[in-house]
Structure 1
Amino acid sequence: MEGWQGLLLLLLLTLRVCSRDVMEDDGDVMEDDGDVMEDNGDVFLTSFLRKVFQRLQERRQPVVESGRTSPREPGGPGELGQDGPARRDPDQSPGPLVLTKGGQVRGVTLDQAHVFYGLRYADPPVGAYRWKPPRPVSPWSGVYDGSFPRAACMQAFPCPAGTTSEEGVLFAYGFFNQPVSAVESSVYVTAIFKQHALPVLHKYLPLYRHADRRAMLAQIVTDFVFLCPSRRSARAGAAAGSGVWLYVFDHVPSDHRVWSGLTFCYRHACHGAELPFLFHSASVANLTFSPAEKLLSNRMLCHWGAFAHAGDPSSRSQQTAFCREQRLPPWPRYSDSSGWLVLNLTRRSHAQVGTRNQICDFWDQLGIYE
């Protein structure tokens, strides 16, 4: 049994023992096919947990379509190596076979269309051929397996990237419109992260003491889905030689109408909070900005405009008189030489070290993005 399965069973037993006080009155609790139920017929969380456990086991079973297991992971049978195409798995059903100038290619039929993935259009530009015009593909022997997509090539290009500081609030509070207990939040974390659930719970549970753990779930969503992948992509781009400028939008809009009645975002920098500032669209959306917010919006507009003109949001070349009046704060390039500085976009925007670098180190070391 894997670790995440054991944790689910442990939570199951804990819920049976701890979710209710010991009842002496037999009328308070009744048994129905092994599920503990209240006298009003509502199923306890124990029953829900059993169903989650069963569904997770079902999801781990391979899906078989048209005689083959799907999806196939890269690196498996048919992966292209340095010596040419590997052979197909003999247990898999054959797909369409075509003859090209380079050799035979076998694909897959999807929705009544023949698809051939990963076909080379030139020989690899390595060694003396780097930065040279492409050369024709060298012919190969055997049958090339084009039935599954390959990884895309890394592209080096400059870009600004970032998130708001509280991306997950919109999703956690939008999905759970009632308070979530510590036990319930542990169930959800276990269902999502499986074998990684214990270290995630160990990292986040001690940081939150309130009975309602939606704030914890919101922070996990912010870190795992938005903030840390953004940092990971930025560092990968920097390592590949791309110009990357990372930001965190950390301002709570003063005009609550931007959230169209989503009251849980009134005091948070929720997902999308930066858009009316970035696109200078407050007047179009009938929003009211304070003088400080107008300055923040103007500065963001000029930063992105400088990037569009010169490929650098801090560039002063071709800067307009309007942008010179905004006195843009420095936005250092995201790199190890700058100390991995991030621009904090708020009423007093400033460059800073990422405030959640240790948390993102935790997610990276967990290996969950691999």
Structure 2
Amino acid sequence: MESWHCLLLLCTLSLVPASGEETRNYDDSDLVSFLRSVYPGVLVRDEPFITNRDFEMNSLKELGRPVVLSIKEQSKDKPVSLDTNGSRGPVVFTKDGQIKGATLDKAHVFYGVPYADPPVGSYRWKPPRPVSPWPGVYDASFPRAACMQACRGPIAEECPRNVSEDCLYLNIFVPVDVDFSSPLRSPLPVMVWIHGGDFIAGSASKPLYDGRFISNFTHTVVVSIEYRLGAFGFLVSGKDPHTSAAGNYGILDQQAALLWVQRNIAMFGGDPSKVTIFGESAGAQSVSLHLMIQSSKPLFKQAVLQSLPFSIPLKTRHDALKLGKDFAKQTNCSASDIVCLLSLTPQAVLAAQMKTSSRIVNPFRFLEAFETWGPYIDGELIKEQALTAFQKGRWQKDKPVLLGTTSEEGVIFVYAIFNKPVSAVESTVYITAIFKQHALQVLHKYLPLYRDADRRDMLAQIITDYVFLCPARLSARSNTATGSKMWMYVFDHVVSDYRVWSGLTFCYHHACHGAELPFLFDSGSVANFTLSHPEKLLSNRMLCYWGTFAHSSDPSSRAQQTTFCREQRLPLWPRYSDTSGWLVMNITVGSHAEVGTRNHICDFWDHLGIY
């Protein structure tokens, strides 16, 4: 490293607190001024960062003004009950009333099924309440409004067009060969999808998550759920839940949806004893929390964690209260005045949420830029960080788990934040800000591997390794010794559909964060590219693994594979264990089990012990 690099690093290190010293005692304004002088413009956030798959691709564009979405009127009574005028579609008797769905290509679909009463009015910041029974036949032939959210500029094209506080609904997809007029001989496994979106965006009804194909292909009942987002789902204004917003409502919503599935899914042909919950990004974070939350234990049998950002920490109560105070300040309410906060219109809450998200990033807590709103450690529902729980074995270890990442998770994050090339000097500053006293070791490990003047690819690889891949590997290894059944994968697909956005040549050639979703849901056309024949085969194989796991708790169980999947001659996916040589399934056009290609890098991070 050149001497001036060393000088800059020493200057930066002089600002770094010693290990264990609280960073909040430092004057952030001085740090921000210093870092701005080195790399201006990157520390000021004027919009939330969204890592949900559809938003990611567009977040690389120049962002513009917020978009005004259609906000549905809040329902203060029971869900709307309609007569569907004899149109084609199955009718199901649930514990709360009759529901009429629609028979579409590949599946019977029940859209917008209420699983809780609307969290509106005085119930805005309250745990979800059981859904009230309805008379007549509920029309489940169309999706309901998504939960409150906002997007900016071009990403608004991917936003739900209708949003509402009245949003606690779920969608159900049943294979088209299921005959509702006669009893099912054998109930089907259930797969419950929890969408991502940084806990501020996304919807169960996005076209990308169309569950018809995966339901029909895997012969499972697929359920996708909405849950409260942003300030509506995660505001913490005080400690007393009776007189303040106590947070984690979005996670409680997910619990309520899982409980509804337990009570009602048998009427749709599903087996409540064979529920797999699966999610990507913030959805995977949600899944990890349910694996830790004792009250969630009876609600599902097993789990799939796709691209879980293990190293992005949940907020402490102190941090959550500080965010709540900043939010209240934007509304001209006091954080302790719940009456004032409840009187705010949905638009006012959303506006304050957006303004609170627009903040100067604390350079010592840089990773929090990726998740302003979300769950926090309240000491009751959520007791510790997910990575700590998984390392210490304080989770539901008897449940089988599929755990994996994509090969280039960090590309989206880095290129979305750094919209121009990053020099070696600038990358040194940011690595120091994030890793503090460990920065020299990180730089020594990564700098020699990257010779390009633009070091964004290096930063992207560090994010991939530190946030996603290596802590996932450590969690898996920590639990296999106790007999936990875990399977690991890396989605490493390569396609050749290139695009140019805002001067940045970006491509699906990168297996970026969320890149596996079009293959899992077979909705590649939604992401503006068409699956080629080899890619279609990859999608089929991926669905065979996920479906076989749902049926048998083992993605390679030959006995539980469909005839089609057996004909695919799928490579064996061994359980992740030292006796198998720590083999990982490389999911690509030529999928195969292999020893982790970045084991030496993960050994380095494990040795540092700073996840």
Specify the TM-score bucket, using the shorter chain as the normaliser: 0.5 to 0.7
CA contact (8 A) 2:408 2:464 kept: yes
Q: Deviations over 1:330-356 (max 9, x none)?
A: 111100110000011111111100000
Shift of 1:280: 1.7
CA distance in 1, matches of 2:533, 2:603: 37
1:10 is matched with 10
CA distance in 2, matches of 1:13, 1:335: 39
Shift of 1:45: 6.5
Q: Deviations over 1:211-254 (max 9, x none)?
A: 11111101000000111011112112323322111001111233
Q: Which amino acid aligns with 1:327?
A: R
Secondary structure of the 1:351 match is: strand
Q: Does residue 281 of the first structure (1) align with residue 412 of the second (2)?
A: no
CA contact (8 A) 2:497 2:509 kept: no
CA contact (8 A) 2:8 2:425 kept: no
Shift of 1:287: 3.0
Work out which of the residue numbers 378, 395, 398 in structure 2 matches 1:154.
395
CA contact (8 A) 1:169 1:270 kept: yes
Q: Does residue 112 of the first structure (1) align with residue 243 of the second (2)?
A: yes
Query: Aligned pair in 2 of structure 1 residues 260, 187: CA closer, same or farther (>3 Å)?
Result: closer
Q: Which amino acid aligns with 2:558?
A: R
1:172 is matched with 414
CA distance in 1, matches of 2:39, 2:502: 35
Q: Which amino acid aligns with 2:438?
A: H
Shift of 1:256: 4.3
Shift of 1:193: 0.9
CA distance in 2, matches of 1:188, 1:242: 37
Q: Deviations over 1:255-290 (max 9, x none)?
A: 447x99974234311111111112222255553122
Structure 1 range deviating more: 181-190 or 230-239: 230-239
TM alignment of 1:33-44, pairs within 5 A: none
Shift of 1:10: 2.1
Shift of 1:292: 1.2
Shift of 1:112: 3.1
Q: Which amino acid aligns with 2:542?
A: M
2:588 is matched with 346
Query: Aligned pair in 2 of structure 1 residues 260, 167: CA closer, same or farther (>3 Å)?
Result: farther
Shift of 1:171: 0.9
CA contact (8 A) 1:255 1:289 kept: no
Structure 1 range deviating more: 297-306 or 230-239: 230-239
Over the residues paired in the alignment, what is the CA RMSD in angstroms?
Answer: 4.0
% same residue: 70
Secondary structure of the 1:360 match is: helix
Q: Deviations over 1:52-99 (max 9, x none)?
A: 9xxxxxxxxxxxxxxxxxxxxxxxxxxxxxxxxxxxxxxxxxxxxxxx
Query: Aligned pair in 2 of structure 1 residues 114, 327: CA closer, same or farther (>3 Å)?
Result: closer
Q: Does residue 307 of the first structure (1) align with residue 307 of the second (2)?
A: no
Work out which of the residue numbers 446, 463, 471 in structure 2 matches 1:229.
471
Q: Which amino acid aligns with 2:535?
A: E
Q: Which amino acid aligns with 1:10?
A: L
Q: Which amino acid aligns with 1:282?
A: G
CA contact (8 A) 1:8 1:190 kept: no
Work out which of the residue numbers 458, 467, 492 in structure 2 matches 1:250.
492
Work out which of the residue numbers 507, 528, 538 in structure 2 matches 1:296.
538
CA distance in 2, matches of 1:13, 1:233: 30
Q: Does residue 365 of the first structure (1) align with residue 607 of the second (2)?
A: yes
CA contact (8 A) 1:165 1:250 kept: yes
Shift of 1:316: 1.2
Secondary structure of the 1:264 match is: strand
TM alignment of 1:64-79, pairs within 5 A: none
CA distance in 2, matches of 1:214, 1:265: 15
TM-score, normalisation: structure 1: 0.61
Q: Deviations over 1:301-329 (max 9, x none)?
A: 00100000000000012322211221111
2:598 is matched with 356
Query: Aligned pair in 2 of structure 1 residues 111, 235: CA closer, same or farther (>3 Å)?
Result: farther
CA contact (8 A) 2:9 2:428 kept: no
Query: Aligned pair in 2 of structure 1 residues 262, 45: CA closer, same or farther (>3 Å)?
Result: closer
- How many residue pairs align between the two structures? 258
1:195 is matched with 437
Q: Deviations over 1:169-227 (max 9, x none)?
A: 11111211111000000000011111111111111111111111111101000000111
Q: Which amino acid aligns with 2:515?
A: A
Query: Aligned pair in 2 of structure 1 residues 184, 233: CA closer, same or farther (>3 Å)?
Result: same
CA contact (8 A) 2:12 2:432 kept: no
TM alignment of 1:62-141, pairs within 5 A: 109=240, 112-113=243-244
Work out which of the residue numbers 569, 572, 575 in structure 2 matches 1:330.
572
Secondary structure of the 1:211 match is: coil
Shift of 1:48: 4.6
Work out which of the residue numbers 313, 318, 326 in structure 1 matches 2:560.
318
1:18 is matched with none
Query: Aligned pair in 2 of structure 1 residues 293, 45: CA closer, same or farther (>3 Å)?
Result: same
Shift of 1:12: 5.8
Q: Does residue 269 of the first structure (1) align with residue 511 of the second (2)?
A: yes
CA contact (8 A) 1:160 1:244 kept: yes
CA distance in 2, matches of 1:272, 1:237: 26
CA contact (8 A) 2:413 2:460 kept: yes
2:454 is matched with 212
CA distance in 2, matches of 1:9, 1:345: 39
Query: Aligned pair in 2 of structure 1 residues 304, 260: CA closer, same or farther (>3 Å)?
Result: farther
Q: Deviations over 1:17-67 (max 9, x none)?
A: xxxxxxxxxxxxxxxxxx9xxxxxxx99784589x9xxxxxxxxxxxxxxx
CA distance in 1, matches of 2:13, 2:502: 43
CA contact (8 A) 1:12 1:49 kept: no
TM-score, normalisation: structure 2: 0.38
CA contact (8 A) 2:519 2:538 kept: yes
Q: Which amino acid aligns with 2:243?
A: Q
Q: Which amino acid aligns with 2:495?
A: P
Secondary structure of the 2:541 match is: helix
Q: Which amino acid aligns with 1:293?
A: E
Q: Which consecutive unaligned segments of at least 5 residues does structure 1 have?
A: 1-5, 15-34, 36-42, 53-106, 116-120, 122-146
Q: Which amino acid aligns with 1:363?
A: W
Q: Which consecutive unaligned segments of at least 5 residues does structure 2 have?
A: 1-5, 15-29, 43-237, 247-293, 295-377
Query: Aligned pair in 2 of structure 1 residues 331, 210: CA closer, same or farther (>3 Å)?
Result: same
Work out which of the residue numbers 465, 473, 480 in structure 2 matches 1:238.
480
CA contact (8 A) 1:303 1:314 kept: yes
Q: Bigger radius of gyration, 1 or 2?
A: 1
CA distance in 2, matches of 1:188, 1:111: 42
Query: Aligned pair in 2 of structure 1 residues 111, 264: CA closer, same or farther (>3 Å)?
Result: farther
Q: Which amino acid aligns with 2:519?
A: F
